Amino acid sequence: MTTNDKNRLRSLAQRQRELAYSPQMEALRSRYWELNTKKSGTLPTVRIETAGFANELIPQSECQCTDKFARLIENQILYYLYHYSIVGDDQLVPKTFQIRWRVNVDYFGFPVSRTTGTAANGSQLGYRVDHAINSIAEDFHKLKPLKASVDREFTGRLRAAAEESIGDLLPVEMTGWPALATFLTRQLLDLMSMENFYLAMMDSPDDVHRLMEYLLQNALILMNFWESEGIMSVNNGETDLQNSTYPFTDKLPAPGFSGRPRLIDMYLRTDSQETVGISPEMFAEFCLPYYKRLCAMAGLWYYGCCEPVHPIWEQLSAIPNIKKVSISKWCNEEIMGQHLRNSGIIYTRKLDAVFAGLDKEIDAEGLARYVRTTMKKAQGCQIEFIYREIPTTYGNPGKLKTVTDIIRREINR
């Protein structure tokens, strides 16, 4: 790392530190504690996820470092600084420089083959999976137990670079927890088509159970790997759950914690978007038993993404440690408002991106009505508003500050 690189990083780290310790951020941390620990009465928070258009958020001219690890550090700090200045939502600026352990995972014993498509703006968001399984009975022999390894060399070099350059300004914090394998049906759709999966539930139900058991065991292998390797960090504070939500809680770590994180001390995520087309009874038969065993391994869970959860909430409510639920645009807000009111389970409202990112102009009145509807139907719930899946701002990320202001105006109203 050159002297210029180090000076550049220290200048950026000082700016992050000033923001992280500002009264605004301290007040925001208190709000997140209230949101996650009370049963009602906290003003909703607003988050806008910018990962889908990071190239529009941070000017390339700002990326000045030449060393590989210096560039990684620079990009991470710039992300927080630009997000704060341009979007102005309730994203926290952390007091630490967070490094996630790099873990390599072989999920099935062979790579998943994908054919990607290119969008009009040059991004590669869409893909088609070249499935390895057509018939579970005939192809199950191809599947091997999950294997994982920690890239300690790369992670250690990044950590050393951060500690040497900015560690006195932003203490380095190692973070991480098992992910991806916990999304059981997402893993399943990497193996076989949705059509074949749906037909198999009717034609060969025992084979589907066999495959779900395999996916559950893979998830448990990865979860136990993180625990045994000592690379998990208790995520009960301002470490983003990677779904634009913060896991502030006084329920973790669990009783008996002695300093080394266990699975029972962790806040994890899962969903089952791929089963949106089956009945609640079929979900209860083919999915729920495996999700219940999965969720029993960790302390608390955030459930859901884009799928509507209201049809299966009766089944999901049998999982006692679900603490946050995604309420997508396809979900019946009123039904979920009734279920979650004064429950202490967070009503995580995923806003429709059409109002902010899919058109060049903001539909201000449409967004205002949209937010008012949620505030009415989820009255008495602890609500957080999250914008995800915005692929582009058409080169105008500054318009998202207007989106944030509209949502806050309706919340205050």
Report the helix count and the strand count for the chain, using DSSP H and E: 15, 12
Q: Could you tell me what percent of the chain has a pLDDT over 90? A: 85
User: Which residues have a Cβ under 8 Å from the Cβ of 280 and sit 6 or more positions away?
Assistant: 311, 312, 314, 315
For the chain, domain boundaries: 3-412
Average pLDDT for 149-159: 97
Q: How far apart are CA 61 and CA 65, in angstroms?
A: 10
Between 282-291, 394-403, 404-413, the lowest mean confidence (pLDDT) is in 394-403
HSE (CB half, 13 Å, CA atoms) of 292? 13
Amino acid 122: pLDDT? 73
Predicted confidence (pLDDT) at residue 308 exceeds the cutoff of 70: yes
What is the pTM assigned to this prediction? 0.94
Q: Which of 58-62's residues contact partners 24+ apart within 8 Å by CB, and which partners?
A: 58/82
Amino acid 179: pLDDT? 83
Closest CA to 235 of 299, 189, 326, 188: 299
Predicted confidence (pLDDT) at residue 123 exceeds the cutoff of 80: no
Predicted confidence (pLDDT) at residue 108 exceeds the cutoff of 90: yes
- Per-residue pLDDT of 285-295, as tens digits, reads 999 999 999 99
What residue type is 338 in one-letter code?
Q
The pLDDT-based confidence of 243 (bands split at 50, 70, 90) is confident
The pLDDT-based confidence of 245 (bands split at 50, 70, 90) is very high
Q: How far apart are CA 177 and CA 63, in angstroms?
A: 29
Amino acid 121: pLDDT? 66
Cα dist. 358→15, 33, 392, 393, 399 in Å?
32, 33, 7, 8, 12
Do 107 and 187 contact (CB within 8 A), yes or no?
yes
CATH topology of domain 3-412: TIM Barrel (3.20.20)
- Per-residue pLDDT of 74-88, as tens digits, reads 999 999 999 999 999
Does residue 180 come out as left (phi exceeding 0), alpha (psi in the -120 to 50 range) or beta? left
- Compute the mean pLDDT over every residue in the chain, rounded to the nearest whole number: 94
Amino acid 395: pLDDT? 84
Predicted confidence (pLDDT) at residue 358 exceeds the cutoff of 70: no
Residue 127, H or E segment: strand 127-130
The pLDDT-based confidence of 46 (bands split at 50, 70, 90) is very high
What residue type is 164 in one-letter code?
E
Average pLDDT for 146-157: 97
Q: How far apart are CA 385 and CA 381, in angstroms?
A: 12
Burial 378-393 (b: 16+ CB within 10 A, else e): beebbbbbbbbbbebb
Query: What DSSP character marks residue 43?
Result: P
Q: Are strands 172-175 and 147-150 parallel, antiparallel or unpaired?
A: unpaired
Most confident of 145-154, 179-188, 391-400: 145-154
Amino acid 361: pLDDT? 80
User: Which residues have a Cβ under 8 Å from the Cβ of 108 and sit 6 or more positions away?
Assistant: 132, 142, 143, 144, 146, 190, 191, 218
Predicted confidence (pLDDT) at residue 353 exceeds the cutoff of 90: no
Amino acid 60: pLDDT? 86
Over its C-alpha atoms, the chain yields an Rg (Å, rounded) of: 22
